[in-house]
Every structure is written in C-alpha cells, then in structure tokens.
C-alpha cells in the first residue's frame, strides 16, 4: 500500500487507526490464505461441480469455501475468485469492497516485468481476451469459458510481480505466474480462425474493511 | 507417468458405429412438439446483466441466470436423446436470448447455444471445460467431419455410446500433449474403463 501511487485513508482517529489498518491488512491476508490453501479443481461450463453442503455461500462465503475445498469440487476461475475474495472479506458482495482504476487496457505481454501501476496483495483483477470481445459467438461456440482470466496479485517474487489465477487444480504451482507469463498462457487459447489476445481490464476489486467510508478509502495521489 | 498413459491410450474409431436398433429408444414426440420445446428455450425475460459485465451487484446472479421455463424445456429436449438431434440441428442458428453463464465473466447466450451446450455436448463431451481450450465438443466433432456429419451419425446412436466415443478421442488426441494435466487424463481413462463392461447404451 505504501508503494502505491494512491492514498488509502484509514478509518478513525488515534488508536482506532492502528486497529482499522490491522483489520484491512487481515482481510487481504485472509484472501491470500484462501489462495494458498486452495485445493479445488478447475472446470468451466458443463464440467463444473460443487458438492451439496449445508452452508449458504451468500451468508457465509468463508465457511462455504472451506466446506467445498476439495479436489472433487470443480469450479470456474470467476467462481474460485469470488469465493476466495468474499471469504476473505467476510461477506458475499455487500459493502466491504470496492473497485479502483488501474492502468488497464494494456496489451499483455507488457514491455516490463511489472504492471505500470503497483497492485497490492489481495487485489482482484482480470485479463480480458479481447479476441472474444470481438467475436463472442464464435468463442462461445468453440471454446466456452475463455473470455478472460481472473487474477489476484500475490507478491513480488525474485524481482517480479506474481499473480494467482485458477486455471489448473487449485494447489498447482502452475497457477502462479507473472503478468507476462499469464499473457503468454492466454495467447495459447485458440479457436479455428483466431487466437486469444490478452489485455488488462482497467480496474481491480479490493477490500475496503478498515478504510474510511464515503470515497471507498481511496484516492489517486496527485503528488 | 505421461509415457505410461500414452502407451495405454485406446484407439479412437474414425466413425461412430451405429448402435443396434434394438437398443435405441426413438423419441416418441413429433416435430411440432420439438418446435414447441425449442420455443420455450427462449427466455421469457431479458438478460439481467449486459454481456461481459463482471460487477457483483446481486448475489442472485452470482452463478449466471436460467429461467425455470428454459431449464424445464432443456431437460425435456435432453431426454429425447440423439434421434432428435437432426431436427434440433436446424435451430443452432436461433439467436433469441436463452440464458446466462458465468465462467470467467458474465455471458448471455442464444437458444442455439443452449442446444449445442446443454443438449448435444452435455453428457457426451464430459471433459469439455476441464482443460482450458482443449477437449471441447466442437474440437471433437470437427475431428469426425464436423457437426453436421456427427449429428447424422449420432442420430443412430445413444448418449452413452457417444460419450464412450468422445472419451476415446479425448484420450488419444488431447492426452497425448505433454502439457495436459495428467490427473484429468487419468480420470477420463477411469471413466472409459468403467463403461467397458456395460452395454453400449447402458448408463
């Protein structure tokens, strides 16, 4: 957060600030923990499968995630992202998150090994397959579910930013890649007349727990 | 492990062998009744969200949207089995809104897409979607002369026989690639082995 060109305003005064900062960091840590412990398998379309459990994910996303977190559960990348994120912030949808713009729209691979604007661990972004935007019916017909890839920023590792996406079994090391490697992976997706063209979506979702309400606790730093 | 799997891959037949007619159950409904069911695949309400809208504003639509009328008609068409496919094939270009899915983002789909995915591919291409972009239903039918040719052959078959044929293709063609997830291929091989002791049309 300190590395970001944005200012995150923590809610409260005095000692409250420290407590609220801890709450915010804890929410992001829970998202990362959920990713670290992911065991569910990848699937899209007809192949998805979630076991019947007695927990409603809308009421208790974290409990639901833990109940279905088995290799026999087969879920899509957006569903997996939704569960790890909303489990981390403690409620499904609701008010504990917001979106903020990033330098989106850039084609991937990027010219550098890092996104031009720092992401914060636990930020949820999306790589769009712009080829599927141009020819949605054709992609739908031939290769359903390949409209893009949901990714989470994890950390800087050996000098490169690394991101998790759910494209193999949950625990697979192959799910942790740099942004450029995600781009290369997505460019292997093909239909008969075209190949995927990856680009970053222009915003990320992030937890707002502990941040000042009203402006989503965020503003771009003009310094 | 990949090498071991490759050695054990079953051969895939070029054509679907017709299933003995005594094993088939011709669909007992008329062309008019099929047309009525196809009509019910068109959603009576518009899509709740725009295409590619990934906003999370309503938990009700977290998994997509299918109107109960569309769900019920799909089940009935699915139960008719492959002998109804040639009639249904004529509706693949039907562009009326049917349902919405959410795999990597929100997508709105047509009646034709509903028939392709939820009647033709469902129960046959059981590993479509398990490996991103590989083993899809369209790749499978393209390998056997295209969708039209497959529909003609499928009409004289039954869904379990079609699934067996798909699994043979999946193991022989998709699983030979080095990059493919071995656990998915092991699972497909196990499915095929379980089917080997059954009659062609036995589930």
User: In a structure prediction context, what are the per-residue pLDDT tens digits for chain A, which is 223 residues long?
Assistant: 766 667 788 899 888 999 999 999 999 999 999 999 999 999 988 889 999 999 999 889 999 999 999 999 999 999 999 999 999 999 888 888 988 888 767 788 776 655 567 789 999 999 999 999 999 989 989 988 899 999 999 988 888 889 999 987 767 777 899 999 999 999 999 998 899 999 998 889 999 999 987 666 666 554 3
Cis peptide before A109 (omega within 30 of 0): yes
Reading the block at residue A204, the tokens are 């990320």
Domain for residue A219, yes or no? no
As for how many domains chain A has, the answer is 1
Res A36: pLDDT: 94
Domain for residue A53, yes or no? yes
Count of helices and strands (H, E) across chain A: 6, 13
**Minimal CA–CA distance to B91: which of B124, B66, B113, B118?**
B113
Vertex A9 angle, CA A8 and A14, to 5°:
140
In sequence order, the 6+-apart residues with CB closer than 8 A to the CB of B13 are B165, B168
Vertex A165 angle, CA B187 and A213, to 5°:
140
* Binding-face residues of A in 110-129 toward B, CB within 8 A: 126
Domain for residue A28, yes or no? yes
Domain for residue A89, yes or no? yes
Q: Which residues of A touch B118 (CB under 8 A)?
A: 46
Q: Is beta strand A176-177 parallel, antiparallel or unpaired with respect to A190-191?
A: unpaired
Residue ranges making up the domain that contains A82: 11-212
Domain for residue A147, yes or no? yes
Domain for residue A1, yes or no? no
d(Cα A97, Cα B66) in Å, to the nearest integer?
27
Q: Determine the 3-state secondary structure of A6 from DSSP.
A: strand
Domain for residue A6, yes or no? no
Q: Which residues of A touch B183 (CB under 8 A)?
A: 71, 169
Q: Which residues of B touch A80 (CB under 8 A)?
A: none
Whether residues A47 and B129 touch (CB distance < 8 A) is answered with yes
What is the value of ipTM here, to two decimals?
0.84
b/e string for A125-153 if b means 16 or more Cβ within 10 A?
bbbbbebbbeebeebbbbbbbbbbbbbbb
Reading the block at residue A185, the tokens are 């992976």
Reading the block at residue A74, the tokens are 């087969």
- Residue B2 confidence class, pLDDT cut points 50, 70, 90: very low
Domain for residue A80, yes or no? yes
Instruction: Convert the pLDDT of each residue in B113-126 to its tens digit.
Output: 999 999 999 999 99
d(Cα B49, Cα B28) in Å, to the nearest integer?
38
CB-based contact (8 Å) between A76 and chain B?
A: yes
């Amino acid at each position: 957060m300190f590395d970001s060109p944005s200012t995150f305003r923590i809610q409260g005064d005095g000692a409250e600030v420290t407590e609220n900062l801890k709450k915010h960091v804890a929410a992001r840590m829970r998202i990362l923990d959920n990713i670290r412990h992911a065991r569910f398998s990848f699937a899209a379309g007809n192949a998805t499968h979630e076991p019947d459990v007695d927990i409603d994910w809308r009421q208790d996303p974290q409990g639901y995630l833990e109940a279905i977190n088995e290799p026999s559960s087969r879920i899509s990348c957006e569903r997996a992202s939704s569960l790890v994120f909303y489990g981390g912030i403690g409620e499904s949808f609701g008010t504990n998150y917001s979106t903020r713009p990033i330098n989106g729209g850039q084609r991937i691979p990027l010219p550098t090994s890092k996104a031009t604007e720092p992401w914060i661990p636990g930020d949820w972004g999306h790589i769009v397959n712009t080829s599927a935007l141009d020819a949605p019916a054709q992609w739908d017909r031939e290769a359903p579910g390949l409209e893009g890839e949901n990714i989470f920023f994890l950390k800087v590792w050996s000098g490169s930013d690394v991101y998790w996406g759910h494209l193999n079994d949950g625990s697979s090391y192959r799910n942790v890649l740099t942004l450029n490697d995600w781009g290369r992976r997505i460019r292997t997706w093909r239909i008969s007349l075209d190949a995927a063209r990856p680009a970053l979506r222009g915003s990320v979702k992030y937890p707002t727990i502990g941040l000042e309400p009203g402006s989503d606790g965020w503003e771009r730093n003009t310094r | 492990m990949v090498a071991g799997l490759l050695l054990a891959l079953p051969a895939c037949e070029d054509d679907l062998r017709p299933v003995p007619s005594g094993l088939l159950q011709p669909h007992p409904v008329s062309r008019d009744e099929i047309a009525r069911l196809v009509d019910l695949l068109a959603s009576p309400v518009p899509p709740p969200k725009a295409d590619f809208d990934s906003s999370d504003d309503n938990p009700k639509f977290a998994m997509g949207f299918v109107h109960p009328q569309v769900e019920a008609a799909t089940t009935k068409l699915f139960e008719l089995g492959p002998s109804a496919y040639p009639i249904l094939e004529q509706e693949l270009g039907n562009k009326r809104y049917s349902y919405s899915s959410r795999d990597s983002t929100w997508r709105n789909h047509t009646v034709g897409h509903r028939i392709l995915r939820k009647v033709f591919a469902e129960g046959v291409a059981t590993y479509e979607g398990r490996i991103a972009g590989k083993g899809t239903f369209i790749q499978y039918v393209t390998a056997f002369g295209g969708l039209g040719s497959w529909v003609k052959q499928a009409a004289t078959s039954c869904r379990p026989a079609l699934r067996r044929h798909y699994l043979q293709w999946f193991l022989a063609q998709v699983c030979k690639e080095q990059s493919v997830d071995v656990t998915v291929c092991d699972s497909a091989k196990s499915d095929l082995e379980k089917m080997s002791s059954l009659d062609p049309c036995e589930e």
